[in-house]
């Protein structure tokens, strides 16, 4: 997969691996690798990124989209009743993100540069606020 990152002119990757096993990736002259398990605030990671590759949790996906980042969503296709796949496919159908599985991540990376990502519209909360005001 490293060759695809180089081919797509990605020079640095930041990996949050959570409670999983630390990935064994070494820095090279073409690719800088930073890894960490968890940290309190990943705002800087979003701010400096051009492309976010995320698991399919709704919170993670929406946070990347709020930052107006190109997003590849990697769905765990081993889950039963996979609601994550539903979310990822809907975001892809709306051109807000690309959707893949771990086995198709390489292909998703290759197509990310030509995919026409569309920024997620800001939520329209005014009608909800008006409704609450009328009820309260």
The CATH number of whichever domain residue 53 belongs to comes to: 3.40.50.2000
Looking at residue 124, what is its pLDDT?
Answer: 73
> Six-digit token pair at 54?
């995320």
pLDDT top residue among 126 and 59:
59
Token digits for 36? 């960490």
Q: What is the domain range of residue 28?
A: 2-135
In total, how many domains does the chain have?
Answer: 1
Interatomic CA distance for residues 100 and 117, integer angstroms: 15
Long-range contacts at 93-99 (CB < 8 A, ≥ 24 apart): 94/118, 94/120, 96/65, 96/71, 96/120, 97/61, 97/64, 97/65, 97/71, 97/72, 97/73, 98/71, 98/72, 98/73, 99/72, 99/73, 99/75
CB distance 97 to 73 below 8 Å? yes
Mind listing the pLDDT tens digit for each residue in 26-76?
777 788 999 999 999 999 999 999 999 999 999 999 999 999 999 999 998
- Residue 110 has a pLDDT of 94
CA distances from 84 to 53, 62, 101, 125 (A): 15, 13, 11, 25
Dump pLDDT digits (tens) for 70-96.
999 999 888 767 788 899 999 999 999
**Quick one: tokens of 29?**
């002259």
pTM of the model: 0.84
The separation between CA 45 and the C-alpha centre of its own chain, rounded to angstroms, equals 12
């Amino acid at each position: 997969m490293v060759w695809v990152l180089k081919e797509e002119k990605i020079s640095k990757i930041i990996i949050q691996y959570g409670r999983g096993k630390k990935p064994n990736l070494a820095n090279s002259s073409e690719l800088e690798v930073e890894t960490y398990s968890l940290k309190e605030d990943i705002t800087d990671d979003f701010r400096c990124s051009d492309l976010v590759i995320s698991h399919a949790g709704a919170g993670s996906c929406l946070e990347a989209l709020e930052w107006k980042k190109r997003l590849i969503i990697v769905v765990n296709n081993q889950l039963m009743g996979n609601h994550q796949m539903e979310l990822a496919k809907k975001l892809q159908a709306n051109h807000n993100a690309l959707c893949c599985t771990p086995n198709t991540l390489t292909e998703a990376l290759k197509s990310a540069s030509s995919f026409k990502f569309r920024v997620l519209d800001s939520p329209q909360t005014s009608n909800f606020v008006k409704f609450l005001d009328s009820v309260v």
